[in-house]
Amino acid sequence: MIFEVPFPPDFSFEHCLSFLQRSPREVLHRCGIDCVRKLLRFEGTNFLLEIRPFTNVLQVMVLNSTASEHQQAYIRQYIVEWFDLEANLKPFYALAEKDKLLKDLVKKYYGYRIVGQPDLFESLVWAVLGQQINLQFAYALKQRFVQQFGEQLNFEGQDYFLFPQPEAVASLTDENLLPLQFSKQKSRYTVLIAEAFASGKVSKEKLRGMSLIEAKEELMKIKGVGNWTANYALMKTFRYPDAFPLEDAGIHNAIRNLKNLKRKPTLDEVRKIFKKYKGWEAYATLYLWKSL
């Protein structure tokens, strides 16, 4: 079955697809030349989606089953959140076109949007996995973790995976995770995050509608979730426009490169630069990352 999700004129599926293709170890979606396939679970049913762009719409094909109107509505909303299709980027582009750091980036990557993680649990665990290691090793950890503990669907000879559920992860121990090359710290933090979600102490629904400060405070009650991790998750899951990981090495490297500095900027220097992007810090971060 096929249905459509409209998108705004300033959306580039091509740039977003490029982001989704950044690691061959990615297991939560499969990219083609002009499409992406993703497994999604809703109310106990798994839907394998194929998404490709047409004029002003994304065409969504459910490959393994049919979806009711209720299920289609969930899938549509997931895709809208995944590609941030409801964001009005006109104010950001107007600001960026006058900014020395961003003006060339927004011309080159016009239509690039925050490819998010609508699942807050996935977003937090991914942030923890990526702490203090390079991106490709983080993807290797995620690949092992998902393949070991996530649900799997085989379709036409290819495997598709769902991110592990908090209830399953909460019961894991070092004996399960250290063989995947998790550090003891990553193992502990991953399980603690899972316990918080499995117990109902933390959920996407509970955080919805909170201010950025309130949401950060709630997330940082979980051991292992610091300022960087909380900001990253809130940026990727809730699209808080002013959420950005200030301490992120990628931001610092991008600024250093674009300004031709001999050293990385200090945190105070980064704060000063980002004052110009008030309300659009997350998108400024996105385009700075893209410059790398």
The residues that are catalytic are: 248
Closest C-alpha to 110, from 25, 13, 41: 13
- Answer yes or no: are the C-beta atoms of 270 and 251 closer than 8 Å: yes
Place of tokens 């599926």: 13
Place of tokens 């090495």: 249
- Answer yes or no: are the C-beta atoms of 179 and 215 closer than 8 Å: no
- Answer yes or no: are the C-beta atoms of 148 and 246 closer than 8 Å: no
Closest C-alpha to 67, from 90, 87, 41: 41
* Measured distance CA(48)–CA(89) in Å, rounded: 30
- DSSP element (H, E) containing 5: strand 2-6
Residue 54 pairs in a beta bridge with 57
CA torsion 169-171-177-182 (nearest 10°) is 60
Closest C-alpha to 100, from 288, 289, 292: 288
Residue 42 pairs in a beta bridge with 45
Closest C-alpha to 127, from 39, 258, 262, 219: 219
Closest C-alpha to 138, from 22, 288, 221, 242: 22
CA distance readout (Å), 77 to 48, 74, 87, 207: 16, 5, 13, 18
* Measured distance CA(272)–CA(149) in Å, rounded: 43
